[in-house]
Amino acid sequence: MIALSYLGGDRLHIDVRGHELSADQTVEDGGGDTAPTPTELFLVVRARPCREGPAVVVSFGPSDHLHRSVGWA
């Protein structure tokens, strides 16, 4: 089960089968920057490295295309 709770402003509390997460927007985008943005959480899922392999670094900006680079952590 996934439950979302609105915490005010742009903050969300997310409960996924007892695992708790938070999401917020950056100060520049009107949030409090208390947690990763929903976009950043999405990118974590999409950019996760293999169990045995290089780390994946993803960077993006408001007007950028998504950039993905691979390097050793």
Ordered by start, the domain boundaries in the chain are 1-36, 37-73
Question: What's the rounded mean pLDDT across residues 17-28?
Answer: 93
Confidence band of 69 (pLDDT split at 50, 70, 90): very low
Q: What angle do CA 71, 62, 45 make, to 5 degrees?
A: 45
Dihedral sign of CA atoms 52, 54, 55, 60 in order: negative
**pLDDT at res. 39:** 85
Which H or E run contains 6?
Answer: strand 2-8
What is the rounded average pLDDT for all residues in the chain?
78
Q: Residue 68, SS3?
A: strand
The tens digit of pLDDT for each residue in 5-15 reads 999 989 999 99
